[in-house]
Amino acid sequence: IAQFLSDLGVDTILPAFIISSQSDREAYKKILQSRERGRIRKDIEIITIARANKKDIDLAASITREAGISPERVGILILSTASDLHLKYKLGQVLLKYKGVNLSQWLKKPVSWYRDANLDFIIEHVKYAREIGFGSIEFASEDASRADLDYLLKWAKACRAAGGTRLCFS
């Protein structure tokens, strides 16, 4: 499929969410190696997906290196959210743990608290991916179409300032 997409002339492929399965890790590795061997175009950008989670980002770097490629030669998409609904009810407990707040506070905290915590959270992870050396860092806001526009813009600007290179609007 990667070779077909390359032949079609696509600029970017996002072939794997490597934390999800061994088969995604293997596919990602094979696609990177195919680019190195010239089986797909050298100029095609290859990106992997990671949650805003250091374990995911570390795994992406590790698999990239196992393929014999420096992370600076690939991209990573860091998946998070800017939607109030997702901030509180999907990512909420992660953000409470991140800030060291007891989980019993989950429903008591206002959305504004989750927004602020989420900014710190995504900035830390974009910076971390930059420190590891990924060549491009896409930042994806899951459920972005339902996000408050002012907060989404603030979130995107913070990601960009932290070293992110491209917004993925989901």
Q: Give the tens place of pLDDT for each residue, 6-26.
A: 999 999 999 889 999 999 999
d(CA 50, CA 48): 7
For residue 139, count CB atoms less than 10 angstroms from its CB and return exposed for 0-12, middle for 13-18, buried for 19 or more: buried
pLDDT exceeds 90 at position 77:
yes
Strands 136-142 and 166-169: parallel
Widest CA span in the chain: 55
Against a cut of 0.85, is the pTM above it?
Answer: yes
Confidence of residue 140 (pLDDT cuts 50, 70, 90): very high
Q: Is the pLDDT of residue 44 over 90?
A: yes
Give mean pLDDT, residues 137-141. Answer: 95
Helix/strand/coil (H/E/C) assignment for every residue in the chain: CHHHHHHHCCCEEEEECCCCCHHHHHHHHHHHHHHHCCCCCCCCEEEEEEECCHHHHHHHHHHHHHCCCCHHHCEEEEEEECCHHHHHHCCHHHHHHHCCCCHHHCCCCCHHHHHHHHHHHHHHHHHHHHHHCCCEEEEEEECHHHCCHHHHHHHHHHHHHCCCCEEEEC
Condensed to tens digits (0 to 9), the pLDDT of residues 119-137 reads 999 999 999 999 999 999 9
